[in-house]
């Protein structure tokens, strides 16, 4: 299996399809508009699940942690996502309310990296976040116990079945620990891949006055 792994690993290629161009001089003044533009382009190009992203946090000992979850919005407040406040990420954000996000869209050879402080929204906005999602999302939230040790697969099956039934009967059922979070960016980097490895990297940095400074980075 080791030989198969290495043979497969070294046979892989990236960006075998034409990639879009990117003129950083024509980019918007702030990162949200450019992100929305790139997001729509990635989706229209056929990128699967462009709303999935990696969220990096640190635990109480300063050890980094990362996982993949879904974007719920990107607006003037920042990048929105949600989870249980009692989950590993929820506890880590309560201890250290700073995080980083990373989107990777190989269909267009693009990556977006964002860093900044994270704020937990209040109960009303968190309930509204869950209300517009699917029955499955509500059932998952009602199942609860995220990141806790699970005794068996059967235990999960029973709890999930009960949660699905309740989600169907009570579409407004409360999930008290479900929390919407907003990452307010202080830095955002947009990476456009290039087959010749002349990648374009545009970084936005928030200045002390609140405006955005833009700068190119070596690939």
Q: What is the pLDDT of residues 69-95, one digit of tens each?
A: 999 999 999 999 999 999 999 999 999
CB burial of 132-152 (b: ≥16 within 10 Å; e: otherwise) equals eeeeebbbbbbbbebeeeeee
Say what the pTM is.
0.92
For residue 14, is pLDDT > 90?
Answer: no
Please state whether 87 falls in left (phi above 0), alpha (psi between -120 and 50) or beta: beta
Which one has a higher pLDDT value, 143 or 55? Answer: 55
Of all residues in the chain, the percent with pLDDT exceeding 70 is 100
Three-class secondary structure of residue 28 per DSSP:
coil
What's residue 146's pLDDT? 82
Mean pLDDT over each residue of the chain, to the nearest integer: 94
pLDDT band at 125 (very low <50, low <70, confident <90, very high): very high
For residue 2, is pLDDT > 80?
Answer: no
* Cβ 92 vs Cβ 65: under 8 Å: yes
What's residue 25's pLDDT? 97
For residue 102, is pLDDT > 90?
Answer: yes
What's residue 139's pLDDT? 86
For residue 1, is pLDDT > 80?
Answer: no
Give residue-wise pLDDT tens across range 144-161. 888 888 989 999 999 999
Instruction: Give the tokens for residue 130.
Output: 């869950």
Non-local CB neighbours of 130 within 8 Å, separated by 6+ positions: 82, 137, 138, 141, 175, 178
- Lowest mean pLDDT of 8-12, 135-139, 206-210, name the range: 135-139
Give Cα 56 to chain centroid, integer Å. Answer: 9
Q: Which of 123, 125, 124, 104 is nearest to 113 (CA)?
A: 104
Please state whether 88 falls in left (phi above 0), alpha (psi between -120 and 50) or beta: alpha
Helices (H), 149-210: 153-169
For residue 5, is pLDDT > 90?
Answer: yes
Q: Which of 183, 187, 211, 60 is nearest to 117 (CA)?
A: 183
For residue 200, is pLDDT > 80?
Answer: yes
pLDDT band at 141 (very low <50, low <70, confident <90, very high): confident
What's residue 65's pLDDT? 98
What's residue 75's pLDDT? 98
- Please report, for residues 128, 205, 214, the alpha-carbon distance to residue 189 in angstroms, rounded to integers and kept in the order given: 30, 9, 10
What's residue 133's pLDDT? 79
Q: How many CA atoms lie within 13 A of 159 on its CB side?
A: 14
């Amino acid at each position: 299996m080791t030989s198969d792994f290495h043979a497969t690993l070294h046979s892989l290629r990236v960006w075998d399809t034409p990639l879009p161009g990117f003129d950083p001089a024509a980019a918007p003044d702030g990162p949200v508009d450019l992100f929305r533009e790139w997001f729509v382009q990635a989706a229209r190009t056929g990128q699967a699940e462009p709303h999935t992203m990696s969220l990096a946090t640190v635990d109480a000992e300063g050890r980094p942690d990362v996982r993949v979850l879904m974007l719920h919005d990107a607006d003037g407040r920042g990048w929105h996502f949600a989870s249980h406040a009692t989950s590993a990420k929820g506890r880590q954000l309560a201890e250290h309310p700073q995080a980083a996000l990373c989107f990777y869209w190989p269909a267009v050879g693009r990556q977006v990296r964002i860093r900044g402080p994270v704020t937990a929204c209040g109960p009303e906005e968190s309930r509204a976040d869950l209300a517009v999602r699917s029955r499955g999302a509500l059932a998952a939230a009602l199942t609860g116990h995220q990141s806790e040790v699970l005794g068996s697969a059967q235990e999960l099956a029973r709890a999930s079945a009960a949660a699905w039934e309740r989600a169907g009967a009570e579409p407004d059922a409360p999930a008290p620990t479900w929390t919407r979070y907003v990452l307010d960016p202080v830095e955002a980097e947009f990476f456009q891949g290039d087959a010749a490895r002349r990648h374009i990297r545009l970084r936005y940095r928030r200045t002390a006055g609140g405006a955005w400074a833009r700068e190119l980075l070596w690939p």
